[in-house]
Every structure is written in C-alpha cells, then in structure tokens.
Structure 1
Amino acid sequence: MTLIVPEYVLAQRAAKQKAEKDAEQKSLKDRMPQPTGWRILVMPYMGKEKTDGGVYVPDKVRERESRATVVAYVVKLGPLAYQDRDKFGDNDPWCKEGDWVCIGRYAGSRFNIEGGEVRIINDDEVIATIVDPDDVKNYGA
C-alpha cells in the first residue's frame, strides 16, 4: 500500500528538517532566546562544583541554589535596553554583555534550555554589577 502525501506537506517536512540541522550547527549562545525591546537575557550563577575545602557539591544542590540566586551573567541585551532617556538619562548602560550582575531573587521570566535555566529580565531590574559572583552569598536561600 502506498501513502499519497501532498507536495506542500513534503516541503514543510523538508524545511523543518533543514531548520533543525541549521540550529544544531549554531553555538548555544546563538540558539538562546533573543530578548526583545528593553529586556536582558541572563544566566543565573550555578556556584562552584567543589568547595574551598575540597567537598563536591551535588548538581541538584547547585541547580536549586541557582533558582534562588541573585547573581547572573549577562548573555544578551535587547535592542532597546537602556535607551529610555526618561528613565536612564544620558548615562552609560548599567551593564553590558559579559558582566556579572545582581538581580531580584524572583526577577524575570524563567526558561529551561540545554545549558540550564536562563531568565529574561527588564533593564531596570539590574540592582548592581559585580566583579566576582562568589563575592555575593545567598544567605537564607
């Protein structure tokens, strides 16, 4: 028995397979969501795999702490981030790609991706920039 499939269905299937193949060839950063407008894509800090005393921290503990963390790495800025002169004046942006920042504990929308969780926050939800994420401790988390 032969199944007759319309040409447009075959074309859609071929286009989908091509898109999946193209996506696999891109880096993880290129495949991450692109923040729109005034939003910023950040990746919460996971913490060290091993303590200073040499004790390994289980992945589940690190993942749980990353969900409640206030420290994040700036991955991408939306095209309008820090462009609102009424809100930010003529000052330099509060952060840029590659910075470590402090954000509200429950700030932003959360997404799970291949590399872990990412958040999309508004540009005014950045509380501070920091040099080393280990300088900020999550007491009470």
Structure 2
Amino acid sequence: MKQTEKSSISEKEVPKHKNALAEKYEKEDKEKHQKEVDGYERLKTKETTKLPQPTGWRLLVLPFKMPEKTKGGLLLGADTLERQQVASTCGLVLSMGPYCYDKKKFPEGPWCKKGDWVIFARYAGSRLPIDGGEVRLLNDDEVLATIDKPEDILHTF
C-alpha cells in the first residue's frame, strides 16, 4: 500500500512539460500559411491576366511553395528551396486550354477544373519563371490526382 501512495505522490509532483517556443512557432506558421493562401488567391484573380494562357490541351499550374523553415525552426537554404520547388508534385490549376479534357479523349469528364489542387509527376511539364517563383504548363493527361489541401501530403524530394 505504501508503494501506491508513493507513486501517486510522485506523479503529482512532476510538472507538465511545455515547450517554451512551441506556441510562437505555431503562430508564425499559421501567419505564414495565411500569407501563402492570400498569395494564391491573388494569383487566382487579377494577376492571372499577366500569365501565359495555355493553348490546346494544356493546363497552367502554380506549384505549391514549400515551407522555408523546418518544424524544428531551421531555415532552409536557397538551393534546397529551389530543388524542392523543381521537384514539387502538387500545384494549383490557374487556367486551362480550350481543348483540355475533350469529350473524345475523356468521355467520363474532366479530371480537374480551374482552382483545384492537383498532383502531377515530379518533373512533369514545362517550367516558366515568373516574379516570385514559377508556373508549369502540363498536358491534361499528366494530372494524376486532385487534393483538397496541399498541406495534407508530405512534400519532400
């Protein structure tokens, strides 16, 4: 009986562990994510007139921007970020060519639409540099899947 009393007393005396900077990092990550979402929204509206318009069966896709900081708070170098961007497999459909997902080739209907997040092969499409990053021109049959939120998948290269 004395052992159970000792163990219950020792459990009460141990303070709960709290990471000192965890809340700060979570807040910074949320703010940064909101800025990225706002940037995607901006690109989906007025900025798209400056971008090239896809022709034929092509899609214009904005690749998902990888986080610049690891969960542990380490900042990634510019070369690493560039390699991650090139190897990105997820992007936002900005516009579609007039022959995308035509009825003859895709009788079941289109695989995606403007504003969808899509998954594509690692080095698929043509890369076009723009101010602040790049866009890709993909063929309509290079889309592998759609996803609701790109944060739901692990982005590594």
Same fold (TM over 0.5): yes
- Contact 1:71–1:136 (CA<8 Å) still a contact in 2? no
- 1:48 aligned to which of 46, 54, 67: 67
Mapping for residues 14-33 of structure 1, pairs under 5 Å: 27-33=46-52
CA drift at 1:98: 1.1
- Which residue number corresponds to residue 7 of structure 2? none
- For 1:58 and 1:76, locate their aligned partners in 2 and report how far apart those are by CA, in whole Å: 31
- Matched residue, 2:137: 120
Superposed CA offset, 1:93-139 (max 9, x none): 11111111100111111111113111101001000001111222244
| Secondary structure at the counterpart of residue 111 of structure 1 | strand
- State the Cα RMSD in Å: 1.8
C-alpha contact (below 8 Å) 2:120/2:145 kept by paired residues: yes
Give 1 or 2 for the bigger CA radius of gyration: 2
Return the match for 1:72 from 82, 85, 91. 91
Answer whether contact 1:42 1:119 (CA < 8 A) is retained: yes
Picking from 104, 107, 113, the partner of 1:86 is 104
Determine what percentage of the aligned residue pairs are the same residue. Answer: 48
Partner of 1:62: 81
Match of 1:107 among 103, 124, 129: 124
Q: How far 1:58 moved relative to its partner? A: 4.2
Asked if the contact 1:44/1:71 (under 8 Å) is kept, the reply is yes
TM-score by length of 2: 0.64
Q: CA deviation at 1:59?
A: 4.5
Aligned residues: 112
Q: Distance between the aligned counterparts of 1:106 and 1:48, measured in 2?
A: 19
Question: Of the two structures, which has the highest relative contact order with CA contacts closer than 8 Å and spacing of 6 or more?
Answer: 1
> Is the Cα–Cα contact under 8 Å of residues 66 and 155 in structure 2 kept in the other structure?
no
Q: Which residue of 2 aligns with 1:95?
A: 112
> 1:52 Cα shift?
3.8
1 or 2, which has the higher helix percentage?
Answer: 2
> Do 1:46 and 1:63's aligned partners in 2 also have CA atoms closer than 8 Å?
no
Structure 1 unaligned regions, length at least 5: 1-26
Q: What is the Cα deviation at residue 65 of structure 1?
A: 0.3
AA aligned to 1:119 is R
